[in-house]
Amino acid sequence: MSLRNGPPRHPKQLADRLSFTPSVRPSVMVHTRSGRDVPVPPPRERPPDHPKRLADFPPDQEGKHKRRRYRLALEDFLAGDAGAPSSNSSNAGSDERQVVLNDRSVAIIFPADTNEASERLVCRLLRRNITGRDVSRLIQQGADASLRVRITRMRIPKMSSWRRRSRLDELELGLIDLAIDDPTGGCPGLNWQHTRQTKATGVPVVLPMWPSRKRQKHIVKALIAGGARGDKELVTMAFHKANLAALDGILSDNPIVDEHILFFIDEEHTPCPPEDVYEQYFDALLPCIRRLLKHKRSLATDFYYDGTYQPIHGIVDHACFTMNFARGFYELLYEFGAPLNSRGGDDWDDREDRVRPIDQAYLVDEPRLLEFLCKHLPASVLMEEGPQLMRCFSRDIRCALEEPLATEGRAREKREKTIEMAKEKTRLLLRAGAPLPAEESDPPSTEEGDAANKTIERQRECEIVKHEYVRILNAIPDEVMNAVNAALRPQREIAALLTHLLPLTPHNDGPPNDPVPSLLHFGPQEAAGIAWRIAALCFDRDTAHQTVSGIQLRSHGRLGHRVHEAMDHFVASAVFHASGNTEVVGGSREADGQVVHAPPLQCFAIRGEE
């Protein structure tokens, strides 16, 4: 019998290659050229196909590298029987999403030279039973904070060879990636794109949540202090998961931030949270945007690759964002210096494809951007652009009304939505102080019938704008009274409290030497009048003016100026000149045996002839 590769040239070479257990004597012998008989080495056993646990691989001695890479089933990590002892497992976060999807088709691959401290660090990060001090201690013991492991998702468990699995199914993650959880459940993947791609097939693994946001922040900072480096992918991952604690910890290392992180330009760059956490996810995303803008203010003013769009144009085309998120996003951009009426730098002023935010607001149906612009744009821009925009909106309404009534449900809903959105945007411009569009001169026409039709169309469009203006006038009285009542609320609350306390105040109204105190005595409505005067001393004019200015009617227009002046005058008169709240709101009281009816103060009057 001979060896497969042929006999060796020297017996010593064969003896060096052979290794066997002395207690087991092989029965097959090989005859060498020197005349000696040596045993054949036993065949090498193949590794089992099932996933190996960390306990099956004892730590290397003398710093020797492991001979091969190994994989671990994720259920071993979360069950507490691998790596670190499970004595601290009671500190792990409790959440219904502490499950492993496709548990037997998910595995973690460590590098071949991973030491025991690094293994323990990874295990405890996955179990969420570690603190920032524990991370620092393990790093001092030799754990590699920059370690990267591969997570693979097998398509056919137990039936495909490990070597034949596609590398496209493997994700290489660092320790900070493993430490970032999903606090709202709105982005279970690594980012929005990965979540959308794995939405149909299921995410490979959903790790538990940390017991507290503070602990997660300390752990991320400890990993960064131990050598892990935050990059723009980590910043994007924490932002897409709406994880403010992790984002704050990563930004403490001053990493590079993707300059297009706030551009919501297409489906792949927009969030897709589940319906049950929809509002919660977008509410958690706004503080993350503020943190990014504090770290890098230029994110609010950067242009996209083609130089035509800024972040303020990003969410107008997407209906998936909530109203509160859209308003908060615009307010944050405005707070950090986003230009509201600029086409960009001087080098781009001559480009025809450059758009302003107000141009973008006309091209979309949603009125969220126009509502924000009507609140913050200069009055000169609204006076110039407002009439033309209202003319366009009224034309859209007229064309939609002249269309035959659709029989299909979707077409009818689309038509009604177009009309309602155009009307709402027209009212926004009118409330912002934009003047009514002037009547256009008759356009030149070769046929007399065309000129007549154009005139009729313009008249209909003007009637549409005037109808919306009347709706605003009818709604103003209720809105103004609500604003006035809100401005007078602190005055009324203090006066009501003092009216109750003044009669109970001990006072010595007897002789100078009388040691027995007595209560104050007041006549009818006297305590209320004194309390109203005392409360007027605590009145804050600035707060009251800010309250009445919250009405959705800008003061630079003719109507808005009159209404705001009337509200300020009424509030000041009610506080400093009225004898009490009864005189302000009116009512009835009994005087000399007769019931006297007092009308309320007249706040203002809108007369159409003025």
Q: Mark out the alpha helices in 226-307 (DSSP H runs).
A: 232-240, 244-251, 278-295
| DSSP letter string, 130-198 | --HHHHHHHHHTT--TT-EEEEEE-SSTTTS-GGGS-GGGEEEEEHHHHH---SSSS--SSSHHHHHHT
Q: Domain boundary residue among 214, 241, 268?
A: 241
Across 378-395, average pLDDT: 89
User: Are the C-beta atoms of 91 and 80 separated by less than 8 Å?
Assistant: no
pLDDT of residue 445: 54
Q: Is residue 539 part of a domain?
A: yes
Indicate the average pLDDT of the chain. 75
User: Per the structure block, which two tokens stand in for 523?
Assistant: 């006549």
Residue range 477-500, pLDDT digits in tens: 889 888 999 999 999 999 999 988
Which phi and psi angles does 401 have, rounded to 5°? -70, -30
Residue 514 has pLDDT above 60, yes or no: yes
User: Per the structure block, which two tokens stand in for 507?
Assistant: 């006072």
The dihedral region occupied by 307, where left means phi > 0, alpha psi between -120 and 50, and beta the remainder, is left
Residue 419 has pLDDT above 60, yes or no: yes
Q: Are residues 164 and 219 in the same domain?
A: yes
Counting the structural domains of the chain, the total is 3
| DSSP letter string, 523-591 | -TTHHHHHHHHHHHTT--HHHHHHHHTTSS--TTSHHHHHHHHHHHHHHHHHHHT-SSHHHHH-EEEEE
Closest CA to 56 of 45, 64, 48: 48
Q: Domain boundary residue among 241, 261, 280?
A: 241
CA 30 vs. chain centroid, Å, equals 74
Q: Is residue 532 part of a domain?
A: yes
Q: pLDDT class for 458, splitting at 50, 70, 90?
A: confident
Q: Are residues 110 and 15 in the same domain?
A: no
Q: Are residues 38 and 126 in the same domain?
A: no
Q: Is residue 572 part of a domain?
A: yes
User: Are the C-beta atoms of 84 and 123 separated by less than 8 Å?
Assistant: yes
Residue range 136-195, pLDDT digits in tens: 999 999 999 999 988 765 333 333 444 444 444 567 889 999 899 989 988 877 778 777
pLDDT of residue 242: 93
Q: Are residues 59 and 41 in the same domain?
A: no
Q: Are residues 87 and 189 in the same domain?
A: yes
User: Whole-angstrom Cα distance, residue 190 to residue 573?
Assistant: 60
Residue 569 has pLDDT above 70, yes or no: yes
Residue with tokens 């602990």, as numbered in its chain? 215
Of residues 220 and 415, more confidence is placed in 220
Range of the domain at 542: 477-507+520-598
Q: Are residues 13 and 55 in the same domain?
A: no
Which positions ≥6 away from 83 have C-beta within 8 Å?
Answer: 54, 77, 119, 120, 122, 123, 124
Across 240-265, average pLDDT: 90
3-state secondary structure of 272: coil
Q: Strand pairing of 71-73 and 106-109?
A: antiparallel
3-state secondary structure of 109: strand
3-state secondary structure of 38: strand
pLDDT of residue 138: 94
How far apart are the two ends of the chain, measured CA to CA in Å?
119
23-29, Cβ contacts within 8 angstroms, sequence gap of 24 or more: 28/1
Q: Domain boundary residue among 241, 261, 290?
A: 241
Residue range 179-203, pLDDT digits in tens: 999 899 888 777 787 777 666 555 4
Closest CA to 538 of 489, 483, 502: 489
Q: What angle do CA 453, 457, 460 make, to 5 degrees?
A: 140
Q: Are residues 56 and 38 in the same domain?
A: no
Across 495-523, average pLDDT: 73
How much is the pTM?
Answer: 0.70
Residue 222 has pLDDT above 90, yes or no: yes
Residue range 393-412, pLDDT digits in tens: 998 888 888 877 655 677 88
Q: Is residue 16 part of a domain?
A: yes
pLDDT of residue 137: 94
Q: How many other β-carbons are positioned within 10 Å of the β-carbon of residue 260?
A: 17
User: Are the C-beta atoms of 135 and 91 separated by less than 8 Å?
Assistant: no
Residue 288 has pLDDT above 60, yes or no: yes
